[in-house]
Amino acid sequence: MKLPEHCRALWALREGDSGVVEGFGDNISEAYRIRLMEFGFHPGETVSCLLTPGVGAPHVYRVSNTVFSLDEDISAHVYLRLTDSTSGSPS
């Protein structure tokens, strides 16, 4: 799946941003995609960015009632449609 124009990669979210998972990039392995979905990162689920510490450090995300730390190698391939807290209305 190529990054649709209305989507943003999970890695690009800033603290306080949120979005709904739309899908995954073609370059992420099947094993990682399945594991992310087991964690709750499946299409239709809302994800919020809690922390972006900088200097390439993993970002911290909330999905459902769980918090995960993901690095850029993985989160750059999870695509989101931005929600109210980010853009003022669903995109």
For 1-42, how does the pLDDT look when each residue is reduced to its tens digit (9 = 90+)?
Answer: 666 678 899 999 999 999 999 999 999 999 999 999 999 999
Ordered by where they begin, the domains of the chain are 7-86 (2.30.30.90)
* The pLDDT value given to residue 2: 66
Residue 22, CA distances (Å) to 25, 44, 57 in order: 10, 7, 24
In this structure, how many other beta carbons lie within 10 angstroms of the beta carbon of residue 12?
19
For 39-86, how does the pLDDT look when each residue is reduced to its tens digit (9 = 90+)?
Answer: 999 999 999 999 999 888 999 999 999 999 999 999 999 999 998 654
Count helices and strands in the chain by DSSP H and E runs:
3, 6
Q: Using an 8 Å Cβ cutoff, are 56 and 5 in contact? A: no
